[in-house]
Amino acid sequence: MMKLLGLGSGRKMGNSEVLLREALMAAEKTGVKIELLRLHDLHIKPCIGCISCSKDQQSGGTGECVIKDDDMPFFNEKLLGCDGIILSIPVYIMTPPGHFKVLCDRIGPSHDVAWQMEAKRIAESEGRESKIDPRFFKPRVGAFIAVGGAPTPDWLSLALPLMNTFTFPMQIEVIDQMQVLGSPLPGQVVLNDVALERARRLGRHVAEAMGKPLEQLEWKGDEPGTCPVCHSNVMLVGKTKSVECAVCGIRGELKERNGEITVTFSKEQQAISRLTLAGKKLHFDDVVETVGKNIQAMGEVQARLKKYQTLKAVKPSKAKKNLS
């Protein structure tokens, strides 16, 4: 039986969780197994940027994180066991909440499918067995829900785009997203019949897409967006007609005709979006090359770092920490 995971990062029975529950319950009626996971119930420590996970994978290991005594192993089991995932977040000021970003940082290199594929290839070419969990390579689909108290979308502008930082490392194909405005009070979204019906539709979309081949998946969002890959409207615009999608990293050409602005992205650019395996492979090669160029200078780096060691960081006393 296909398994759908719902991950909420808002307060218990708050607006974002209510919509997530509505989506999951609608999906369950299609015959899939559902599971609700609340980020507030998990203790996830921040990533320390040591890249030990990536180095371990390249050496044929599992990529296990060096951070211990938190709930990341529990979360990984839930994530690897699902065929689809719905992420639902509250928006306090423009972006997803901080604890969601902490989780995204931990999902980064250690869960990057392109990186894992390359590490697996290198290990096997050198006669070593790769221990990367094969469940990482299972196709998955996903959808986003974002809820804000502001009545206008400008205060939620970075929420849906930034949710891609969770899904793109594992090649989770996002097929739908929804945004709800004007919901500042806890649970008040139960009075919003339009939002509730949209959440049910989103849940059914994900459930019906689970297990389908990538080429059969369709975008189910209400708007196509400016970018044809991630469907985001967040673009980086410079002084030329070249436009870059802030989520995908692909470049397009901006055109204006009769007061209407359009952005055109070539098939070649779409094929190397950072949401694709090809785009991630390019990034993998760039990282390997950059590390190779800089690794010989690490001796000098360590020598120069000594200059800064006399400046001590201020820390709270143990007594204060116990009171918190």
Number of domains in the chain: 2
Q: Which long-range contacts (CB under 8 A, 24 or more apart) does 271-278 make?
A: 273/229, 273/230, 273/245, 273/248, 273/249, 274/168, 274/247, 274/248, 274/249, 275/164, 275/168, 275/171, 275/229, 275/230, 275/247, 275/248, 276/229, 277/113, 277/114, 277/117, 277/171
Instruction: State residue 321's pLDDT score.
Output: 53
Section 218-241 average pLDDT: 93
Strand (E) or helix (H) holding 173: strand 172-180
Last-in-domain residue among 187, 205, 222 = 222
Q: Are residues 139 and 284 in the same domain?
A: no
Q: pLDDT per residue over 284-303, tens digit each?
A: 888 888 988 898 898 999 99
Instruction: State residue 241's pLDDT score.
Output: 86
CATH number at residue 28: 3.40.50.360
| CB contact at 8 A, 270 and 250 | yes
Q: Are residues 61 and 145 in the same domain?
A: yes
Classify residue 311: in a domain, yes or no.
Answer: no
Residue 75, SS3 per DSSP: helix
Residue among 151, 165, 159, 192 at smallest CA distance from 178: 159
Q: Are residues 214 and 239 in the same domain?
A: no
Q: pLDDT per residue over 57-74, tens digit each?
A: 878 888 889 998 999 999
Classify residue 315: in a domain, yes or no.
Answer: no
290 φ, ψ to 5°? -65, -45
Instruction: State residue 235's pLDDT score.
Output: 94
Last-in-domain residue among 175, 199, 222 = 222
Question: By residue range, what is the domain housing residue 236?
Answer: 224-297
Number of residues that make up the chain: 324
Classify residue 307: in a domain, yes or no.
Answer: no
Classify residue 318: in a domain, yes or no.
Answer: no
186 φ, ψ to 5°? -60, 125
Positive or negative: CA dihedral 22, 43, 134, 279 = positive
Q: pTM of whole model > 0.75?
A: yes
Q: Are residues 231 and 206 in the same domain?
A: no
Instruction: State residue 320's pLDDT score.
Output: 55
Residue 83, SS3 per DSSP: coil
Question: Rounded to whole angstroms, how far apart are CA atoms 4 and 35?
Answer: 6
Q: Are residues 293 and 178 in the same domain?
A: no
Q: Are residues 147 and 242 in the same domain?
A: no
| CB contact at 8 A, 160 and 144 | yes
Section 266-283 average pLDDT: 93
Q: Are residues 113 and 61 in the same domain?
A: yes
Angle between helices 113-125 and 277-294 (to 10 degrees): 60
The more confident residue out of 83 and 125 is: 83
Instruction: State residue 224's pLDDT score.
Output: 93
- Which range of 124-138, 147-161, 308-322 scores highest in mean pLDDT? It is 147-161
Instruction: State residue 319's pLDDT score.
Output: 60
Residue among 55, 52, 63, 60 at smallest CA distance from 123: 60
Encoded tokens for 111: 């869960």
Q: Return mean pLDDT, the chain.
A: 92
Q: pLDDT per residue over 234-272, tens digit each?
A: 999 988 889 999 999 999 999 888 888 889 999 999 999
Classify residue 51: in a domain, yes or no.
Answer: yes
Confidence band for 324, pLDDT divided at 50, 70 and 90:
very low
Section 293-321 average pLDDT: 87
Instruction: State residue 258's pLDDT score.
Output: 84
Classify residue 305: in a domain, yes or no.
Answer: no
Alpha-carbon separation of residue 19 from 33, 79, 200 (angstroms): 18, 20, 8
Amino acid at 16: S
Q: pLDDT per residue over 150-186, tens digit each?
A: 999 999 999 999 999 999 999 999 999 999 999 999 9
CA 236 to chain centre: 20
